Amino acid sequence: AHKMIIAIDGYSSCGKSTLAKELAARLGYNYIDSGAMYRAITLYFLRNAIDLGDHNEVLDALSQISLSFVFNEHRNASDIYLNDENAEPFIRDMIVSEKVSEVAAIREVRSFAVAQQKRMGRKKSIVMDGRDIGTAVFPDAELKLFMTADPEVRVIRRFKELYATNPNITLEEVRDNLQLRDHIDSTREESPLRRADDAVILDNSNLSREEQLKLVLEMVKDRT
Ligand code: C5P
């Protein structure tokens, strides 16, 4: 069958990765979480106290980073490895979430991540989610989705996810972080979050997971 790329972009906590994972499983494609790459880079920068304003320090740090995805059967998804360490247990921590948008706005960081993302789409059919997949990484993707959801619905979804491992988290904290990331992500100079002209808008505030999956599988069928 002919190769297919599905690009899913949108605001934070819109359910992009949930949908992307289910689509990939159903279609037998690889799922790639591009946000995990920016998060792993941020984790490295935090651990090594990289000065984000120092161009050479940033470039040098990037040259020390190797990222890879390894499928984890228990999760039925891939874990991201940062220089041979499974970084998955750390990359969703609040300390990373608070810094990631600042790191992802740096031009050198984006070219580093985007080059690798483009390579991953070369051979296999994939579903990739992020902020600039349909606009910058795969402008020729066969199917592009732009996901949105009511902001408070998103806050509550993310809160529930985080609360499972961190009972000290507050709604306020989660709300502030989502607002801050969406603001930085959509106003940065380097490939800001925006809907590609040919992306289909999917507002899932009132759609179940099954309903979303069914809708998108129809779109995939129309395009193959
Ligand atoms: O998708 P997730 O919320 O894990 O992404 C974390 C952050 O990584 C986003 O808030 C954004 O700053 C950055 N990101 C990006 N471009 C992508 C994916 C993520 O700038 N394609």
For the chain, percent of residues with pLDDT exceeding 70 = 100
Residue 163: predicted pLDDT: 94
* Edge-to-edge order in the sheet of strand 67-72: 67-72, 77-82, 85-86
Give the C-alpha separation, 42 to 49, whole Å: 10
Whether ligand 1 lies within 6 angstroms of the CB of 104 is answered as yes
Are 147 and 15 in contact by the 8 Å Cβ rule? The answer is yes
DSSP 54-106: -HHHHHHHHHT--EEEEEETTTTEEEEEETTEE-TTTTTSHHHHHHHHHHHTS
- Ligand 1: residue whose CA is nearest its atom 16: 131
Which atom of ligand 1 is nearest the CA belonging to 129?
21
CA atoms of 117 and 213, how far apart (whole Å): 24
- Closest residue by Cα to atom 5, ligand 1, is 35
The helix-helix angle for 107-120 and 94-104 (nearest 10°) equals: 100
Q: What is the pLDDT of residue 173?
A: 97
Average pLDDT over residues 136-156: 97
Report whether 11 belongs to an annotated binding site.
Answer: yes
Give the residue with greater pLDDT, 165 vs 144: 144
Q: How far is the CA of 156 from the centre of ligand 1 (A)?
A: 19
For residue 202, the domain's CATH number is: 3.40.50.300
Contact 97, 176 (CB under 8 A): no
Is 14 a known ligand-binding residue? yes
Nearest residue to 156 (alpha-carbon basis) of 192, 205, 202: 205
Tens of pLDDT, residue by residue over 189-205, are 999 999 999 999 999 99
Ligand 1 in reach of 11 Cβ (< 6 A): no
Q: How far is the CA of 65 from the centre of ligand 1 (A)?
A: 18
Q: What is the whole-number distance in angstroms between the Cα of residue 176 and the centre of ligand 1?
A: 16
Ligand 1 proximity of 21 Cβ (cutoff 6 Å): no
Give mean pLDDT, residues 112-133.
97
- The three-state secondary structure class of 10 is strand
Which atom of ligand 1 has the smallest separation from the CA of 184?
12
Cα 213 to ligand 1 centre (Å): 22
What's the total number of domains in the chain?
1
Burial 166-175 (b: 16+ CB within 10 A, else e): eeebeeebbb
Average pLDDT over residues 31-45: 98
Name the average pLDDT for the chain. Answer: 96
Residue of 9, 13, 34 with the most ligand 1 atoms within 8 Å of its CB, for mutation? 34
> Domain span at residue 36?
5-222
Give the DSSP H or E segment for 136. Answer: none
Write down the ipTM of this complex: 0.99
Average pLDDT rounded to a whole number, residues 28-50? 98
**9, β-bridge pairs:** 130, 146
In this predicted model, which residue has the larger pLDDT, 76 or 133? 133
Query: Is 53 labelled a binding residue?
Result: no
pLDDT in tens, 154-165: 999 999 999 999
Closest CA to 50 of 65, 70, 67, 36: 65
pLDDT at 75: 84
pLDDT at 154: 96
For the CA of 117, the closest atom of ligand 1 is: 21
Confidence of residue 1 (pLDDT cuts 50, 70, 90): low
Q: For 197-200, which contacts have Cβ atoms below 8 Å and span 24 or more sequence positions?
A: 198/134, 198/144, 199/7, 199/9, 199/134, 199/144, 199/145, 199/146, 200/143, 200/144, 200/145, 200/146
